[in-house]
């Protein structure tokens, strides 16, 4: 679904970035057996969140989800992937709010990638967002 519905005004982008709040670590696992740590930011808009997985202070994986679109980066592949989530499919009888399936796009949704970068830039004073942004270049 590569289309122009990812074109937002500067004000909307800034509001989305400002709405991101770090979720208390006690709500998610502190560390994985491999020593990695997961950090979760959630925005005020439903289905807007970012997960970061860090190992030795470096991002090894992150996933950005907004309005049923998803962008992810993984250190194993060292590439960006975009896709659609099932979060807005209301007649999916198997839907459970804590699960999310992603259907990967055949080609990267460049408009969504541009939007993700714009939102991350609004938090440029925070190291984790700067690191994530550098992985998208």
- Answer for the pair 116, 71: CB distance below 8 angstroms, yes or no: yes
Q: How many CB atoms lie within 10 A of CB 134?
A: 10
Asked whether the predicted pLDDT for residue 91 surpasses 90, the reply is: no
| HSE of 127, CA atoms in CB hemisphere, 13 A | 4
Q: Please state the rounded mean pLDDT for residues 93-115.
A: 77
Q: Please state the rounded mean pLDDT for residues 45-63.
A: 93
Q: Please state the rounded mean pLDDT for residues 78-86.
A: 89
pLDDT at 46: 86
Per-residue pLDDT band at 86 (split at 50, 70, 90): confident
| Entry pTM | 0.82
pLDDT at 43: 96
- Parse the chain into domains and list their residue ranges: 4-135
Strands of the chain, DSSP E: 21-22, 37-42, 49-55, 58-66, 69-74, 79-85, 102-104
Residues composing the chain: 137
Largest CA distance in the chain: 42
Q: Which long-range contacts (CB under 8 A, 24 or more apart) does 5-9 make?
A: 5/67, 6/69, 6/109, 6/111, 6/112, 6/114, 6/115, 7/111, 7/115, 8/115, 8/118
pLDDT at 24: 79
Share the mean pLDDT of the chain.
85
Q: Which residues contact 58 (CB under 8 A, 6 or more apart)?
A: 75, 131
- Answer for the pair 132, 80: CB distance below 8 angstroms, yes or no: no
- Angle, CA of 41, 46 and 52, to the nearest 5°: 20
The model's pLDDT over 5-20, given as tens digits with 9 standing for 90+, comes to 567 999 999 999 999 9
């Amino acid at each position: 679904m590569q289309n122009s519905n990812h074109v937002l005004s500067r004000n909307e982008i800034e509001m989305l970035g400002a709405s991101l709040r770090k979720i208390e670590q006690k709500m998610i696992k502190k560390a994985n057996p491999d020593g990695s740590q997961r950090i979760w930011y959630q925005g005020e808009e439903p289905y807007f969140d970012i997960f970061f997985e860090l190992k030795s202070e470096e991002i090894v994986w992150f996933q950005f989800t907004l309005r049923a679109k998803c962008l992810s980066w993984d250190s194993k592949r060292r590439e960006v992937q975009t896709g659609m989530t099932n979060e807005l499919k209301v007649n999916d009888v198997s839907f459970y709010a804590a699960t999310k399936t992603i259907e990967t796009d055949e080609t990267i949704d460049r408009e969504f990638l541009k939007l993700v970068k714009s939102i991350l830039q609004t938090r440029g004073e925070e190291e984790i967002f700067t690191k994530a942004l550098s992985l998208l270049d």
